[in-house]
Structure 1
């Protein structure tokens, strides 16, 4: 819940942190940072005082930037509460006074360049101002004092007389205590790591490798999100390792407006098949609730709905062929594209574990990915008026996000996606899909 009057009340933020025993840690000199600039460009930088080029993305004087990160969480409960805190800070930074003038808050990650696998990167924000604004700075300090574990820390970046960029690290005490300058360091470009800092930690943070991993997240949400208990109750009624029947299971994947609904309906009739959708209708009333949650919780919800669908597949595939409108590949592709900032080149490489099907999830026989040009997809979307999730809406305005989703689909393994161009007529697309099915199931 965001307070309509602007600044989140300090009591609310403190209550959010009361059961989150995070510990404020000093900003380590050896850590690096990556910020996602508008246009999906990534800028890597560090503040270690050594020689190096000035990083892009920091406005010249009289501009000023600020950064802060939420301390790393250790237990599952802390992870959930830290993720929700990050979401609320993101909402707060999108409101006055932080959106005044040319200011903007950009996603930021802090990571250990010496060992990307050691611990997940810390999430935070880089707040950019075209010129210094003392009142906004005071509001930001007040927000961090209320939200982060004491003593909160704030990094302030500004250009010095030599045109170099410097960072001042401030430790924020209580309102009456003011703040203390911890140190200053020169900010320079950092080398781009071999892989995106978030890539090694996607499993069980966005793409869940098992039912239990996703379940563990929602279990920590039951006191925060009452609907999480209802979802868990549905999941617990499903067999842990459902067995597929003797009839084929075919999944149709693709972005919105690629023709999934048309093709699945046509296949249902032509194959005399049962059609299922993921997420299933039994959880549709809760989608909006979980779509408003941070990635960790939202993706755990969608991962668990796949296990509900798997139980339905097991039952229906004993009677007839089964056509599924989206399944695990959609869940994974959107999660990867959301968590990996930047462009397609920043995605985890081919054969990364994040592209592999979970071992405890019922696997389909065939996955068909419908593709269409972005111009044609947008043309089809115009005038539809259907309610969209936040990520589906982002597809329309962020071509780099769309490209990451599409490429993630293509990198999926075991089973991989069989591509079908759906730009042509309905009859031609259906014919191509039926050809793919016939190749896999000659007797069908």
Structure 2
């Protein structure tokens, strides 16, 4: 099936059907500004800001004050998301967020410094967005933002931070109604430091946007994508042929995980040859032809595709495991770890804590008997990457450029439960690694 994730899909942005809602109710959702922000600072820490505080309040982190106050000017853009289960609205919001990011990287806005920003606590759910720092306070920046948001189909929110002579920080919200000129909405409000919440603001949203706890949750997302991405229907047709629950056969199923260039491909092939096992991959071959299309989509769509790929693979695994052992080159742990590491901004300290439900295996997905996690040092992994010339996904490319992202992926792997990962040092020779892997398999899989 030919790809349509280009101009046609862009023209369709925002036209997904949603549940009936009055115009006034729709505007209330779209226009509700966030009351708190989580701003990623240099060094991958987060500053939490509260809007509308009274009294002296807590002082802002100096790094946050430098990003928000004078001598430059800072703007925030946030895309409201529909709370609850409105998948169509969530898909629209995610695609708008991605479109805005691409346009913010063009002239004249690319001259601004761009940072991730999360809005929350405004009654309209989580709002993903950006902070734009304009060091030169150019009037062209504001005009460019007005022009950009005038084309936005679903009313992204725009605000501005400004400091005063006493060193206090204030927020103004901009709005445009019924084609009129842009104007400030209401009085400006004080911005103060806010206490850090117990969990990163994005974590409660993960089961609806990135780490789907069951098949139907991921299926609903791709169903909402059908008017935009025809290939989504082809994936759904395969999913709808699957039984509700599949049962593993008498032979063991072993998933082998690891970052790119940890030797995963070599080990999976060697283990399958040694054990006379079937070698399988997730996503399976029947949908791999569409990976490039979905890899270019926002997290919610990309992760729904990979999640459903796990369920399609599970059906194949169930059948094969009645005849022989099955070795899996990646499975659900990869889908979940990359999603969590991508969505949770900041450093590893902001990841969901160990034993959080987000690390639990989906109840309706066939569970492997054993999961092995291959690891090597960052230096060894980079050495192996040199000269490979293998096409990588967006997240795999970021592993090379962003050491914090790599650390978050590794920590998420280590926090997975039921089944947990058995960590294997894949730095030694191929022969030694294979011996270690086979020893772990024999000690944990009685069927061999």
Give the TM-score normalised by structure 1: 0.91
Classify 1:414/1:364 alpha carbon distance in 2 versus 1 (closer, same or farther; 3 Å): same
Q: Does 2:92 align with 1:109?
A: no
SS at match of 1:368: strand
Q: Does 2:397 align with 1:399?
A: no
Cα distance in 2, alignment partners of residues 238 and 17 from structure 1:
30
CA contact (8 A) 2:223 2:232 kept: yes
Cα distance in 2, alignment partners of residues 61 and 175 from structure 1:
31
SS at match of 1:223: coil
Residue number in structure 2 paired with 1:138:
143
Residue number in structure 2 paired with 1:323:
327
Cα distance in 1, alignment partners of residues 207 and 151 from structure 2:
31
Pick from 386, 389, 393 the counterpart of residue 393 of structure 2. 389
Q: Does 2:353 align with 1:349?
A: yes
What pairs up with 1:401-440 in 2 under 5 angstroms? 401-440=405-444
CA contact (8 A) 1:14 1:146 kept: no
Cα distance in 1, alignment partners of residues 321 and 124 from structure 2:
42
Pick from 126, 135, 139 the counterpart of residue 131 of structure 2. 126
Cα distance in 1, alignment partners of residues 333 and 125 from structure 2:
24
Cα distance in 2, alignment partners of residues 13 and 61 from structure 1:
39
Cα distance in 1, alignment partners of residues 69 and 198 from structure 2:
30
Cα distance in 2, alignment partners of residues 304 and 153 from structure 1:
33
Gaps of 5+ in 1: 4-11
* C-alpha RMSD of matched pairs (Å): 2.3
Residue number in structure 2 paired with 1:70:
79
Residues 378-414 of structure 1, C-alpha deviations (whole Å, 9 max, x = no match)? 1100110100000000011111111111111111111
Residue number in structure 1 paired with 2:258:
254
Residue number in structure 1 paired with 2:158:
154
Residue number in structure 2 paired with 1:93:
104
Cα distance in 2, alignment partners of residues 153 and 362 from structure 1:
42
Gaps of 5+ in 2: none
Residue number in structure 2 paired with 1:8:
none
SS at match of 2:39: strand
Residues 322-353 of structure 1, C-alpha deviations (whole Å, 9 max, x = no match)? 10000000000001111111111101111111
Q: Does 2:183 align with 1:179?
A: yes
Residue 46 of structure 1 deviates from its aligned partner by: 1.6
Cα distance in 2, alignment partners of residues 345 and 156 from structure 1:
29
Cα distance in 1, alignment partners of residues 118 and 15 from structure 2:
21
Residue number in structure 1 paired with 2:212:
208
CA contact (8 A) 2:68 2:161 kept: no
Cα distance in 1, alignment partners of residues 266 and 157 from structure 2:
53
Q: Does 2:199 align with 1:195?
A: yes
- The alignment of Structure 1 onto Structure 2 pairs a total of residues equal to 429
